[in-house]
Amino acid sequence: MGSFMNHAIQGSDPRTRDQRPDRMLGRRRPTPLSLVLGVTVSVLLAACGGGGGGESSDGTFRTPLPTLSTDIPPSGPRLDLQGRDYFPATVGDRWDYGVGLAAQTATDGTLSRTVTAVHADGSVAIKETYLGSSDTAIRYRRTAEGITVSPLTGAAPLAVQNLVGPLLQYPEPFYAVGRERVAVRQGSWGEDLDGDGRAESFRFEFRQTLTSLGTLTVASRPLADVAHFRNVSTLMVQPSDLRETSYTVTTVENAWWAPGIGLVRYDFRADGSDGEVVVSPYTLLL
């Protein structure tokens, strides 16, 4: 699946992008959100001297961000298109995507996704295979409200995972074209990253807009009634030490879903608040 469903994986890699073997080889699996988060934390640790070292020398601290969990749906009528089956998932279903990297003109191999399990509670597991390696990279759940995911599973302290929790990623019925839906989660990071003896704060935002319903041509085949979603996620970690600077990673995703087929195109990139390109742009194309 696209968006969080593309990135909600188990485990994280604390190494920087240049240290990971797949990066050094010049070819990498499309980066999951947990690795983006790993970069966020490693950058913050580097800026703060790697953690440890006692309290702030002047004894001054930022006020922690208050705990907040809110969902803001747009107003207006909704589009009941569930009969078109935009998110098919039956055990054995498979999608093969060409991977396009921004720095290359040719496709960088094929990424395959296969549904391996569909449970009675609506949860779905999808195995992803790319460059000879496989793992269950995608887990989501169908509910009465739509598709839900847990974007930070295995990638953040348990307190953060519990606060962010399952998020509604693709509501059904859809909201109207052009209307933005917002989810905000905020509170304690639950760990001391800057070494001043106090836990940091975080703020996570997810903003989604159904930008269009129309025709998209894929592999010379025009597909009708394709739903194009634009998803923007921001994760900000705020140090408690006033001498340190907050760091934010912003991911921008565009996902196109075709009736009875599923995800047919997916564009992704991630950038840091310091101007660093955290994840170079890439495209998955059916």
pLDDT (tens digit per residue) in 90-134: 999 999 999 988 656 556 789 999 999 999 999 999 999 988 887
Q: What per-residue string of b and e applies to 221-235 under the rule 16 or more CB within 10 Å gives b?
A: eebeebbbbbbbbbb
User: Taking 80 as the threshold, does the pLDDT of residue 47 lie above it?
Assistant: no
Band of pLDDT at residue 22, cut at 50, 70 and 90? very low
User: Taking 80 as the threshold, does the pLDDT of residue 15 lie above it?
Assistant: no
User: Taking 90 as the threshold, does the pLDDT of residue 42 lie above it?
Assistant: no
Whole-model pTM: value is: 0.83
Cα–Cα–Cα angle for 11, 274, 165, nearest 5°?
Answer: 35
User: Mean of the per-residue pLDDT values for the chain?
Assistant: 81
